A and B are shown apart, each in its own frame.
Chain A
Amino acid sequence: MTQTDLKPTQAHTTNAPALEVRSLNKTFAPTVVPVKNLNLTVERGEFLTLLGPSGCGKSTVLRMIAGLEHPTKGQVLIDGEDVTRLSPSDRNIAMVFQSYALYPHMTVHDNIASGLKLRRIPKGDIEDRIRDVVDFLGLHELLNRKPGQLSGGQRQRVAVARTLVRRPSVFLLDEPLSNLDALLRENVRAELKQLFESQQAPVVYVTHDQVEAMTLSSKVAVLNEGYLQQLDTPERIYTHPANRFVAGFVGSPQMNFLTLPCDGQSVTLGNRRAPLPTEVRTDAKEITLGIRPEHVRLAREGESPTVEGTVSLVEHLGMHKLYTVQVPGKMPMTVRSLIPLSHTHSDRPIKLVFSGNAIHWFDAETGDRLNQD
């Protein structure tokens, strides 16, 4: 089949973004406010991932976009049209649920067809569309089975097929891979990426898995405690985390954070003083240095180390070893470093160097990023 077959039927003449969320707020109870003032725009063809820890309100945002939850405040616009008051079925959205939510008493065919039948699409069109999607996803053998007779991966594909036939204005996916085992998840992830790249309509994808977010998305929105922490490309999220939360949440093994005494111009790191980059301005007495374990390397022969300490833990990660190093001093610190497998460690102290251009500076109190590059 050609890719145009799966494009939305609607012609897009407006310049409005495909999906826009304006100062969205959801208050379940005075103390349960999972979404506080969220603003997002998603353009056509974009793949936006909402990333955040469990319970941070990702699903609630998605359900408000879908119309399954009414926002306490704010608006949802699809193709420039305010749909905040519309029911889910009038919004032209399609959704993959975490549990897939296939109707157990209907065959795969009827599951895929149900959304179209209810929209009074002529029977011939329905069968044409189903054939396209079934060809596309290779579901022929499954059409007459019930969901109970499918494997987890097959159910997932049927759930995706059900959204594709709808040709919606926006695709919404809520942790669609979390019920698959690790190996299958990796395959399906790659498949999903290809699949939705061929779609015009944007995708809003919810996950708590940073690898999914980084590999699938064209943009990632990191959420925490109901607030948008950063909205950026996966690369920028990784290289320029907007604050300490994003820096710590994205990237594995986790970034090292060292809180250092500071006098506005320079910081004290162990027994050394180092100047702050010129663009970092702070009056605080302390500043947080962030550096990823892969940017902490062994000092070369004769090179002066940034820190020195003893290895307290060695973890084998396959490609690398992860050392946990205790750095003694007035303020003892723990630094984790990715070390090539070839290195053998002894009880002697090891010398580590922080790659200068990979250091992130954060305000010790607010956690905001201080350096621009």
Chain B
Amino acid sequence: MTTFPESVSKSQRSSGINWRSLILPIAVILVVLFCLAPVLWQLLTSVKVNQDISAVPSVYFPRRFTLEHYQQLFARRPFWNYLLNSFFVAAASTLLALGLGAPAAYALARLRLQGERVILAGVLIVTLFPPILLFLGLLRVVQVLSLGDNYLALVLPYAAINLPLTILVMRSFFEQLPRDLEDSAKVDGYNTVGTLLNIVLPLTLPALATTGILAFITAWNEFIFALTFITRESMKTVPVAASQLGGASIFEIPYGPIAAATVLGTLPLVLLVLFFQRQIIQGLTSGAVKG
């Protein structure tokens, strides 16, 4: 060992504080603050009284709290309805994307298909288009099939938008799932369906949960399609409903209720992620192959 590192450690000891070990926690706190500051602002706004919301200068940390905005949300609007609509549309489109995407991914990973590369390239290219580019086309489709004010008008496009991601993620998951497992199941006497249900599916649950959550979030937050294809009040989803909250007069912007709607609209997603995080961390595949 040279003397140089020693002298560094000596100077550290003399100063009493190990600055290096502080850098990481500080950096983490800063990054978290940076990311969550807008969320925090919304959260605080949703529980401020109206006076504090419109006060100049801004009240950053309120002393008075109220649940009035939340109560208004449910009293003046069918907010439960919006939540249910969002949940139904997001869940249905997610299940559809997983139900179509997972088998497709499995086929792409396991069968030696002829045009496999072409198919994958096609799937990848689809993801490059911003959904907004498809908007006019989809509008026409919805008109022709008269799907307006029908949940299908949202479920189908959401599922389609999430399908490429589902296929790509699930395919790479299936690729690293050892083929020996399925062969072993065959030798044991499982038929194809039995193998898929009893061996492949349980091992695939973490990956399904991950891609499912991503698909669910995308569908839950989607705005433009939901705004255009659904006009009936009772069928609206949370993002659309939140944006259309009106004040008592046209001059009043209802910051409080909007913030409350935002918080309520995000809460299910947070719960969902927290719930599935455990499943994902379990890491079921570990131990399938060598140690």
**Secondary structure class of chain A's binding surface, majority of residues:** loop
Interface residue total, chain B, C-beta cutoff 8 A: 23
Other-chain residue from A102, A105, A118 in contact with B202 (beta carbon distance below 8 A): A105
A115 to B199, CA, bound (A): 13
A151 adjacent to B291 (CB under 8 Å): yes
A105 to B279, CA, bound (A): 13
A147 adjacent to B181 (CB under 8 Å): no
A101 adjacent to chain B (CB < 8 Å): yes
B288 adjacent to A102 (CB under 8 Å): yes
A151 to B284, CA, bound (A): 16
**Interface hit among A75-83, A92-100, A230-238, A311-319:** A92-100
Known: A98-B180, A148-B287. A119 touches B187 (CB 8 A): no
Would you list which residues of chain B between 182 and 208 have a CB under 8 Å from chain A? Answer: 183-190, 194, 199, 202-203
Q: Across the interface, which residues of B come within 8 angstroms of A99, CB to CB?
A: 178, 180, 288-290
Q: Across the interface, which residues of A come within 8 angstroms of B143, CB to CB?
A: none
A98 to B194, CA, bound (A): 23
A119 to B203, CA, bound (A): 23
Q: Across the interface, which residues of A come within 8 angstroms of B127, CB to CB?
A: none
Chain B residue with Cβ nearest A147: B287
Chain B residue with Cβ nearest A168: B187
Known: A89-B189, A99-B178, A105-B284. A68 touches B183 (CB 8 A): yes
Interface residue total, chain A, C-beta cutoff 8 A: 32
Would you list which residues of chain A between 186 and 244 have a CB under 8 Å from chain B? Answer: none
Chain B residue with Cβ nearest A90: B189
Chain B residue with Cβ nearest A28: B112
B187 adjacent to A115 (CB under 8 Å): yes
A115 to B183, CA, bound (A): 13
A93 to B190, CA, bound (A): 14
B187 adjacent to A100 (CB under 8 Å): no
B285 adjacent to chain A (CB < 8 Å): yes
A88 to B192, CA, bound (A): 12
Q: Across the interface, which residues of A come within 8 angstroms of B190, CB to CB?
A: 89, 118
A118 to B202, CA, bound (A): 18
Residues on A lying within 8 angstroms of B by beta carbon are 63, 66-68, 87-89, 93-95, 97-105, 114-115, 118-119, 146-152, 155, 179
Q: A68-B187, A114-B188 are in contact. List 5 more A-B contacts (CB 8 A).
A: A88-B183, A93-B187, A101-B288, A104-B285, A118-B188
28 chain-A/chain-B pairs, Cβ below 8 angstroms: A67-B186, A87-B186, A88-B183, A88-B187, A95-B183, A98-B180, A99-B290, A100-B180, A101-B180, A101-B181, A101-B184, A101-B289, A103-B181, A103-B184, A103-B199, A104-B284, A104-B288, A114-B188, A118-B190, A119-B189, A147-B287, A147-B288, A151-B291, A152-B290, A152-B291, A155-B287, A155-B291, A179-B289
Residues on B lying within 8 angstroms of A by beta carbon are 178, 180-181, 183-190, 194, 199, 202-203, 284-291
